[in-house]
Amino acid sequence: MRKEDNHIDELFRSKLDDFEIKPPAYVWDAILEKQEADKRKKRALWIKFSGVAAALLLAFLLGWELQHEGELPATNEMAAKQIGKDNFNGEDEIDSNNEKDVESQLAESSRTIGDSKNTNDKDLLVNESSVVKQKNSEQQRSSEASNLTVLENAEVERSESILAMLQKRLSEIAFIYPKTNELDEIDPSEDDAFLSEQDRAIIAQNQQTLQSEKKKKRSGLGWAVGAQVNPVLAVNDSKQSQQYASGMNKATENSSMQLGGGLTVAVKRSGRWSIQSGVMYNTLSQSSSNNVSNRNSNLDYAAAPETSGIPGSGAAYYKVGESSNGTVSIQTPAGTIQVNSLPQNALVAADYEALASSSSDVLMTSTDFEQHFDYIEIPLLLRYQLVDQKFGLQLMAGLNTGFLVGNSAYADSGSGRSNIGETSDMNSVSYSTNFGVGLGYKLTPALQLRFEPQMRYYLESLSSNPDISYKPYTFGFYTGISYSF
């Protein structure tokens, strides 16, 4: 009987000598998935350790900050210590919970591996139950994956809770130890040893600018004062009636260059609009001559005979000056000059036949006349800031009210320039409009260099004589500085 048994054993051994059973595919899948689970476990452990390290670092920094606050009240120190203890207690609880989770996960994994081995042995002995076991192993793998997902979600939630707790503690510390945000309370003298003179000047200038900006915001208004010098090119525009023009001197110049200036003040609210006013000085002039180039039989002109001894006599005609009550008046494009005193070496005659007559009707000497008008003006300009940088650009327009403060007439008959009177019928108040652009360059945040080309046109005639319309227009080049505060 024993021989037969040995024979059977030999038979099985010979039959199963080269026999090899390949494990099912789900076994390898389970092994690979288990390796991926181990990697995820390591990643979860790294997340946990990183969170703990961040918490310890923040706690260390908070402790260092609290240690150097020597002058704070004792109540604040107690609060800081209590916060530190709460942080460490929270971290210990998290560590213990994480260790328990890891142990339970390892135990569950070992049970899973044991179940897989038992399943493989049974499959080798009984092939009929392989399908059932495969289904069970797939369900087990899905449950393991869901368990790992739950663990990862739990780790993320714990990390978020740690960060939320730290943020809460930091806000409490910020409330206990408030920090100042006012620049005025900072003492820059502590760092003066490390700053150059240029850096100190820049810091002082920036502080001054910030303080001025704060004052502007509190008051709601910004002010600027300035001074200007304005060379002005005046182009004369005069129209006369036919009767007046027939006895008028000829204009020798259609334009003249004058110089003015004044003080300005501007107010600006928040935004780009500003209003400017001030006090300005301005001058206008008109030149004419009584010399004509051709002979004319009209008695408005008279010629000096060759025997008169006057230089150029007999070759030129001179404008007749009308006299009334012993006063000579001369008509010009800008108005009528009332001659109070004749120029030196001027020869006057009643007509071309009676040079020695005592009647002062004809001015027989070639004479150039100049009329000057001085105005004090009060402008009212509206400005709009297009560019507000280092280089600024503005548009401006407005009105000017001028008050006549000077009115004089001069004559030059070859022997010198002398004051002979003034222009009659001049309006004491004039109105004009002007517009232009303003260019600015900031030397400092408060001090600005300005250049402003402007054009001006008078709205009404400067003379009240109904036979004259004298409305010149001017081009001014206003140059100056302004200071804002």
Query: What confidence tens digit (pLDDT) does each residue in 260-306 have?
Result: 999 999 998 767 889 999 999 999 988 887 765 433 433 333 444 44
Nearest Cα residue to 235 out of 473, 64, 414, 22:
473
CA distance 56 to 162: 11
Tallying the residues shown for the chain, one arrives at 485
Distances (CA, A) of 66 to 54, 80, 174: 18, 7, 11
Confidence category of residue 50, pLDDT binned at 50, 70, 90? confident
For 295, the token pair is 């002979």
Bigger pLDDT: 271 or 27?
A: 271
pLDDT for the residue 454: 94
- Give every CB contact of residue 413 below 8 A, 6+ residues apart in sequence: 343, 344, 345, 346, 365, 366, 367, 368
- Whether 377 has a pLDDT exceeding 70, the answer reads yes
pLDDT in tens, 442-473: 998 889 999 999 999 999 999 988 888 998 88
pLDDT for the residue 315: 39
- Give every CB contact of residue 369 below 8 A, 6+ residues apart in sequence: 249, 287, 288, 289, 290, 330, 332, 337, 409, 410, 411, 420
pLDDT for the residue 437: 94
Highest averaged pLDDT of the listed ranges 21-25, 83-87, 274-278, 324-328: 274-278
- Whether 102 has a pLDDT exceeding 90, the answer reads no
pLDDT for the residue 330: 81
User: Residues 481, 449: contact at Cβ < 8 Å?
Assistant: yes
- Whether 72 has a pLDDT exceeding 50, the answer reads no
Mean pLDDT along residues 26-34: 73
pLDDT for the residue 282: 92
Highest averaged pLDDT of the listed ranges 73-77, 178-182, 251-255, 431-435: 431-435
pLDDT for the residue 221: 73
Highest averaged pLDDT of the listed ranges 135-144, 208-217, 269-278: 269-278
pLDDT for the residue 344: 58
Sign (positive or negative) of CA dihedral 331, 332, 335, 340: negative
- Whether 374 has a pLDDT exceeding 90, the answer reads yes
pLDDT for the residue 257: 87
Confidence category of residue 438, pLDDT binned at 50, 70, 90? very high
440 forms beta bridges with 392, 450
Highest averaged pLDDT of the listed ranges 109-113, 179-183, 247-251, 286-290: 286-290
Among 136-145, 349-358, 461-470, name the one with the lowest average pLDDT: 349-358
Instruction: Report helix angle 74-125 to 130-176, nearest 10.
Output: 170
In this structure, the strands spanning 447-458 and 429-442 are: antiparallel
Alpha-helical segments (H) within 352-404: none
User: Residues 241, 467: contact at Cβ < 8 Å?
Assistant: yes
Mean pLDDT along residues 186-197: 60
Confidence category of residue 22, pLDDT binned at 50, 70, 90? low
pTM of the model: 0.50
Backbone angles phi, psi at 113, to 5 degrees: -65, -45
Among 1-15, 129-143, 192-206, 235-249, name the one with the lowest average pLDDT: 129-143
Confidence category of residue 182, pLDDT binned at 50, 70, 90? very low
For 52, the token pair is 């703990």
Distances (CA, A) of 338 to 114, 115, 267, 423: 132, 132, 45, 6
Per the prediction, the chain carries an average pLDDT of 71
Q: How far is CA 139 from the centre of its chain?
A: 69
Nearest Cα residue to 303 out of 323, 292, 322, 318:
318
Bigger pLDDT: 32 or 437?
A: 437
- Whether 90 has a pLDDT exceeding 90, the answer reads no
